[in-house]
Amino acid sequence: MVWFRTATNIGRLAIRRSLAQASHHAKRPHLLPASTVRGFHSTFPKCAAPVPRPVPLSKLTDSFLDASSSVYLEELQRTWEVDPNSVDESWDNFFRNFVGQAATSPGISGQTIQESMRLLLLVRAYQVNGHMKAKHDPLGLEKREIPHDLNPEFYGFTQADFDREFFIGVWSMSGFLSENRPVQTLRSIINRLEQAYCGSVGYEYMHIADKEQCNWLRNKIETVKPREYNAERREVILDRLIWSTQFENFLATKWTAAKRFGLEGGESLIPGMKEMFDRASDLGVETIVIGMPHRGRLNVLANVVRKPLRQIFNEFSGGTKPVEEQGLYTGTGDVKYHLGTSYDRPTRSGKMIHLSLVANPSHLEAVDPVVVGKTRAKQYHSNDVDRKKNMGILIHGDGSFAGQGVVYETLHLSALPNYTTGGTIHLVVNNQVAFTTDPRAGRSSDYCTDVAKSLNVPIFHVNGDDMEAVVHVFELAAEWRQKFHCDAVIDIVCYRRFGHNEIDEPSFTQPKMYQVIRNHPSSLEIYQNKLLKLGVITKEGIEAIHNKVNSILNEEFINSKDYVTNRRDWLSAYWTGFKSPEQISRVRNTGVNPEIIKRVGQAITTLPETFKPHRAVKKIFDLRAQMIETGVGIDWALAEALAFATLVIEGNHVRLSGQDVERGTFSHRHSVLHDQVTGDRYCPLDHLILNQNEEMFTVSNSSLSEFAVLGFELGYSMENPNSLVLWEAQFGDFANGAHVMFDQFLSSGESKWLRQTGLVCLLPHGYDGQGPEHSSARVERYLQMSDDNPYTIPEMEPTLRKQIQECNWQVVNVTTPANYFHVLRRQIHREFRKPLIVIAPKNLLRHKDCKSNLSEFDDVQGHPGFDMQGTRFKRLIKDQNNHSEREEGIRRLVLCSGKVYYELDDQRKKVDGKDVAICRVEQLCPFPYDLIQRELKRYPNAEIVWCQEEPMNMGAYSYIAPRLCTAMKALGRGTMEDIKYVGRNTSAATATGFYSVHLKEQAGLVEKALQSDPINYPY
Ligand X SMILES: Cc1ncc(C[n+]2csc(CCOP(=O)(O)OP(=O)(O)O)c2C)c(N)n1
Q: Which residues here bind Mg ion, judged by CB under 5 A?
A: 397-399, 431, 434
**Measured from the CB atom, is 715 or 769 closer to ligand X?**
715
Distances (CA, A) of 220 to 196, 216, 268: 9, 6, 22
Shortest distance, CB of residue 429 to Mg ion, whole angstroms? Answer: 7
Q: Which residues make Cβ contacts (< 8 Å) with residue 766, sequence separation at least 6?
A: 775, 841, 842, 843, 844, 898, 899, 949
Distance, CA of 390 to chain centre:
15
Shortest distance, CB of residue 616 to ligand X, whole angstroms? Answer: 45
Q: 400 contacts which partner out of Mg ion, ligand X, none, CB within 5 to 8 A by kind?
A: ligand X
**Measured from the CB atom, is 447 or 716 closer to Mg ion?**
447
Q: 499 contacts which partner out of Mg ion, ligand X, none, CB within 5 to 8 A by kind?
A: none
Shortest distance, CB of residue 302 to ligand X, whole angstroms? Answer: 18
**Measured from the CB atom, is 364 or 919 closer to ligand X?**
364
Q: 8 contacts which partner out of ligand X, Mg ion, none, CB within 5 to 8 A by kind?
A: none
Q: 131 contacts which partner out of Mg ion, ligand X, none, CB within 5 to 8 A by kind?
A: none
Element (H, E) at 932: helix 929-938
**Measured from the CB atom, is 169 or 397 closer to Mg ion?**
397
**Measured from the CB atom, is 495 or 959 closer to ligand X?**
495
Shortest distance, CB of residue 735 to ligand X, whole angstroms? Answer: 18
Shortest distance, CB of residue 435 to ligand X, whole angstroms? Answer: 4
**Measured from the CB atom, is 329 or 435 closer to ligand X?**
435
Shortest distance, CB of residue 398 to Mg ion, whole angstroms? Answer: 4
Q: 364 contacts which partner out of ligand X, Mg ion, none, CB within 5 to 8 A by kind?
A: ligand X
Q: Alpha-carbon distance 288 to 278, whole Å?
A: 11
Give me the helices (H) in 167-230, please. Answer: 186-197, 211-221
Shortest distance, CB of residue 619 to ligand X, whole angstroms? Answer: 48
Task: Say if residue 147 is preceded by a cis peptide, omega within 30 of 0.
Answer: no
Q: What's phi and psi for 980, nearest 5 deg?
A: -95, 145
> Do the Cβ atoms of 116 and 169 come closer than 8 Å?
yes
Q: Which residues contact ligand X by CB under 6 A?
A: 295, 362-364, 397-400, 429, 431, 433-435, 496, 500
Q: 336 contacts which partner out of ligand X, Mg ion, none, CB within 5 to 8 A by kind?
A: none
Shortest distance, CB of residue 745 to ligand X, whole angstroms? Answer: 13
* Residue 845 CB burial class (10 angstroms; 0-12, 13-18, ≥19): buried
Shortest distance, CB of residue 739 to ligand X, whole angstroms? Answer: 12
**Measured from the CB atom, is 638 or 740 closer to ligand X?**
740
Q: 766 contacts which partner out of ligand X, Mg ion, none, CB within 5 to 8 A by kind?
A: none
3-state percent helix, strand, coil for the chain, nearest multiple of 5: 45, 15, 45
Shortest distance, CB of residue 748 to ligand X, whole angstroms? Answer: 16
**Measured from the CB atom, is 428 or 673 closer to Mg ion?**
428
Q: Which residues make Cβ contacts (< 8 Å) with residue 496, sequence separation at least 6?
A: 264, 265, 266, 431, 432, 433, 506, 517
Torsion, Cα 384 385 388 394, to 10 degrees, reads: 80
**Measured from the CB atom, is 364 or 478 closer to ligand X?**
364
Distances (CA, A) of 507 to 282, 520, 678: 44, 15, 67
**Measured from the CB atom, is 362 or 554 closer to ligand X?**
362
The dihedral sign for the CA sequence 223, 225, 231, 235: positive
| Three-state secondary structure call for residue 139 | coil
Q: 825 contacts which partner out of Mg ion, ligand X, none, CB within 5 to 8 A by kind?
A: none
973: left (phi over 0), alpha (psi -120 to 50) or beta: alpha
**Measured from the CB atom, is 264 or 719 closer to Mg ion?**
264
**Measured from the CB atom, is 404 or 853 closer to Mg ion?**
404
Torsion, Cα 359 364 370 376, to 10 degrees, reads: 110
Q: 729 contacts which partner out of Mg ion, ligand X, none, CB within 5 to 8 A by kind?
A: none
> Do the Cβ atoms of 756 and 721 come closer than 8 Å?
yes
> Do the Cβ atoms of 268 and 523 come closer than 8 Å?
yes
Q: 422 contacts which partner out of ligand X, Mg ion, none, CB within 5 to 8 A by kind?
A: none
Shortest distance, CB of residue 139 to ligand X, whole angstroms? Answer: 14
Shortest distance, CB of residue 906 to Mg ion, whole angstroms? Answer: 60
| Residue from 124, 204, 703, 209 nearest 456 by CA | 209
**Measured from the CB atom, is 295 or 872 closer to ligand X?**
295
Distance, CA of 24 to chain centre:
33
362: left (phi over 0), alpha (psi -120 to 50) or beta: alpha
Q: 807 contacts which partner out of ligand X, Mg ion, none, CB within 5 to 8 A by kind?
A: none
User: Which residues, listed in sequence order, are joined to residue 17 by a DSSP beta bridge?
Assistant: none
**Measured from the CB atom, is 494 or 919 closer to Mg ion?**
494
Shortest distance, CB of residue 413 to ligand X, whole angstroms? Answer: 19
Q: Alpha-carbon distance 323 to 724, whole Å?
A: 34
**Measured from the CB atom, is 373 or 399 closer to ligand X?**
399
Q: What's phi and psi for 910, nearest 5 deg?
A: -60, -40
Q: 295 contacts which partner out of ligand X, Mg ion, none, CB within 5 to 8 A by kind?
A: ligand X
Q: 969 contacts which partner out of ligand X, Mg ion, none, CB within 5 to 8 A by kind?
A: none
Strands 673-674 and 352-357: unpaired
**Measured from the CB atom, is 397 or 684 closer to ligand X?**
397
Q: 363 contacts which partner out of Mg ion, ligand X, none, CB within 5 to 8 A by kind?
A: ligand X
Q: 374 contacts which partner out of ligand X, Mg ion, none, CB within 5 to 8 A by kind?
A: none
Q: 670 contacts which partner out of Mg ion, ligand X, none, CB within 5 to 8 A by kind?
A: none
Q: What's phi and psi for 292, nearest 5 deg?
A: -155, 160
Q: 123 contacts which partner out of ligand X, Mg ion, none, CB within 5 to 8 A by kind?
A: none
Residue with the CB atom nearest ligand X in the bound state: 397
For the chain, helix (H) and strand (E) counts, in that order, are: 31, 26
Long-range CB pairs of 436-441, under 8 A, 24+ apart, other chains included: 436/500, 436/506, 436/508, 436/509, 436/510, 437/399, 438/510, 439/398, 439/399, 439/402, 440/27
Q: Alpha-carbon distance 709 to 844, whole Å?
A: 26
Shortest distance, CB of residue 293 to ligand X, whole angstroms? Answer: 6
**Measured from the CB atom, is 435 or 682 closer to ligand X?**
435
Q: Alpha-carbon distance 111 to 165, whole Å?
A: 9
Q: Alpha-carbon distance 693 to 127, whole Å?
A: 45
Shortest distance, CB of residue 966 to ligand X, whole angstroms? Answer: 37
* Residue 258 CB burial class (10 angstroms; 0-12, 13-18, ≥19): middle
Shortest distance, CB of residue 297 to ligand X, whole angstroms? Answer: 10
Shortest distance, CB of residue 399 to ligand X, whole angstroms? Answer: 3
Q: Which residues make Cβ contacts (< 8 Å) with residue 711, sequence separation at least 6?
A: 366, 367, 368, 369, 370, 373, 406, 410, 738, 741, 745
